Amino acid sequence: MSENKITTLFLDIGGVLLSDGWGHQFRQQAADKFNLDYAEMNQRHRLLFVVYEEGRITLDEYLDRVVFYQERGFTPSQFKDFMFSLTTADTNMITLIKQLKATYQLKIIVVSNEAKELNEYRIQKFQLNLLIDFFISSCYVHVRKPDEAIFKIALNGVQVPANEIVYIDDVQMFTEIATGIGIRSIWHKDHLSTAKELAKLGLPIE
């Protein structure tokens, strides 16, 4: 049992609760479906993804610059519908977090890099607002991981000491950054290994 009682979980969304929002595999799938040059599309994406995820441009503006900078045989709406359709849920992780919240009355805070329109679609589609108490998404706070400022914003907002928090992310570097400011962190690989690590911290689930 940990000496510090855990009262709060910080969670990533993509790669933890849901599939990645617009990761490279999904961009490749979109390029294949719509017969786009993936290398060119990805180069344009790399130039824009920071301002896109920080909410400084809209999805329409992003697509205008990454896909629709020339005439296409499909519409922005068709492309967006395909983007949104790629999201799937990790039902095992969602169930685990629901059980933890109910058993230990935990606060559940998202700390995530996501663009606004996709983030809001995913929250609504999978009813994450019924599970999550607050969203510190990059598109709302205009800063993104790996900048440790996003974790400090979350700490200030939740008003809980860092030693009462566990952070779960599928990106190892992000867990290291959170650990560096005093937040115990779990590098997520699958729900079983994460559940074991949580149990070591005093949060076992039968």
93-98: average pLDDT: 98
Q: What is the pLDDT of residues 99-112, one digit of tens each?
A: 999 999 999 999 99
**Rounded to whole angstroms, how far apart are CA atoms 40 and 80?**
19
* Residue 184 reports pLDDT greater than 70: yes
Q: Which two tokens stand for residue 200?
A: 């070591």
* Residue 2 reports pLDDT greater than 90: no
Q: Which two tokens stand for residue 199?
A: 């149990």
Contact 119, 59 (CB under 8 A): no
**Average pLDDT of the chain, as a whole number:** 96
* Residue 47 reports pLDDT greater than 50: yes
**Rounded to whole angstroms, how far apart are CA atoms 156 and 122?**
25
* Residue 191 reports pLDDT greater than 90: yes
**DSSP H or E segment with residue 105:** none
* Residue 88 reports pLDDT greater than 80: yes
Residue-level pLDDT at 203:
97
**Rounded to whole angstroms, how far apart are CA atoms 33 and 117?**
21
114-120: average pLDDT: 95
**Rounded to whole angstroms, how far apart are CA atoms 34 and 65?**
16
Residue-level pLDDT at 78:
98
Q: How confident is the model at residue 3 (pLDDT cuts 50, 70, 90)?
A: low
Which pTM does this prediction carry? 0.93
Q: How confident is the model at residue 21 (pLDDT cuts 50, 70, 90)?
A: confident
